[in-house]
Amino acid sequence: MAHEILNAKKKGKKVIALMSNLAASGGYYMACHADKIICSPLTITGSIGVLFALFNLRDFWKKFGISYDSLENENKYTNIFSSIESC
């Protein structure tokens, strides 16, 4: 949808985004491409999620003898947030 908004703008059309009750990350992402965003003060708006933090808890878990297994499939990003090695 964001691609189509950009295509409409290239054709000279004005784009207005209307966010009503909830605009999660995808809705906010699309609205960013609009010429104008209209929302109410009560609209719950999500973020795009470009920043995140990972905490290295490896030593903390070891103190309590806690370990875990993770499931993986052919997608290399499946467990990006759960891998102890990526902390």
pLDDT tens profile 14-72:
999 998 888 887 788 888 899 999 998 888 887 766 555 667 777 888 899 887 666 66
This prediction's pTM: 0.50
> Which tokens is 17 given?
């985004």
Half-sphere exposure of 85 (CA within 13 A, CB side): 3
Catalytic, 70? Answer no
Spans of all domains in the chain: 2-45, 52-87
Enter the DSSP assignment of 79: T
Catalytic-labelled residue, pool 25, 70, 83, 86: 25
